[in-house]
Amino acid sequence: MDFELTEEQRLFQRTVRDFAEAELKPRARQVDEHYEFNAQAVKKMGPLGLLGLNVPEEYGGAGVDAVSAAIAIEEIGRGCGSTGLAVAAHNGLACAPLALFGSESLKRKWLPPLASGSGRLGALALTEPGAGSDLAGGVNTFAQRDPARRGAGSGDEWAINGSKAWCTNASIADVIVTLCRTDKAGGSHSLSMILVPTDAPGVHIGPAEKKMGLKGSPTHAVTY
């Protein structure tokens, strides 16, 4: 088995490294010391395909192979760990599940702006104050179909109640893919992922957590 990078992958690596050296590395210390998200540099990543690594081309993404996606995150993190974390979460935790499992209407509405940089980033909310790795049995955030929205022509909508912890990108995201329990009977089969716009009524994003490092990547508690 050949483990060497292809010529195309090497060129891609060089492109991302040059970008990171110019746009990320010079501000990496300031970003971390002052809790600053490097939004200006991240916005420039859209045209390079770095915000749509896991997004198919038909939805405006780069649709690169897994090795190329890993190369991109590695090079971004090499320039600035905080920015690397934010972009990794955006690509792998928000865009990827939406591209793989979202409905066609959700993909066409949300993936193009997420991948192009015309909007903000995406986030994923799994952990809860009382549930870390024990997601199957520990998730208490509950979602049920919202009867007030039936017949409103807006498709399937849900009322969600609960709290999430350690949500990377929450304050800089347009959407949060949220793990909810949709059947109080329990078990892993009662869990669903629901796409929640951050401007939806009732969504509250708490202040950024005080962290020991990677402080340019904001992490928040979120309540629904």
Q: Tell me the average pLDDT across 178-200.
A: 87
Per the structure, the count of domains in the chain is 2
**Helix 81-88 and helix 66-79, axial crossing angle in degrees, nearest 10:** 150
The answer to whether residue 109 is domain-embedded is yes
41 and 135 inside one domain: no
- State yes or no: pLDDT of 149 exceeds 70: no
Domain boundary among 100, 119, 138: 119
Residue 155 is predicted with a pLDDT of 55
- State yes or no: pLDDT of 22 exceeds 70: yes
Q: Tell me the average pLDDT across 141-161.
A: 76
Residue 186 is predicted with a pLDDT of 66
182 and 159 inside one domain: yes
Output the six-digit token pair for 3. Answer: 């483990």
Specify the CATH number for the domain of residue 84.
1.10.540.10
Range list of H helices, the chain: 7-19, 28-33, 39-45, 66-79, 81-88, 96-101, 104-116, 135-138
Domain boundary among 60, 85, 119: 119
148 and 196 inside one domain: yes
142 and 110 inside one domain: no
CA 66/CA 143 separation, integer angstroms:
33
Percent of the chain with pLDDT over 90: 85
Instruction: Name the average pLDDT for the chain.
Output: 93
Residue 154 is predicted with a pLDDT of 52
What's the domain range around 58? 7-119
Percent of the chain with pLDDT over 70: 95
Residue 55 pLDDT level (bands cut at 50, 70, 90) = very high
Determine which helix (DSSP H) or strand (DSSP E) holds 192, and give its type and residue range.
strand 191-197
Domain boundary among 119, 153, 169: 119
- State yes or no: pLDDT of 156 exceeds 70: no
Residue type at 107 in one-letter notation: K
Q: Tell me the average pLDDT across 172-196.
A: 88
DSSP string, 142-187: EEEE-GGGTTSSS-S-EEEE-EEEEEETGGGEEEEEEEEE--TT-S
The answer to whether residue 2 is domain-embedded is no
Summarize pLDDT for 69-92 with one digit per residue, the tens: 999 999 999 999 999 999 999 999
The answer to whether residue 180 is domain-embedded is yes
165 and 183 inside one domain: yes
CB of 175 within 8 A of CB of 121?
no
Summarize pLDDT for 98-135 with one digit per residue, the tens: 999 999 999 999 999 999 999 999 999 999 999 888 88
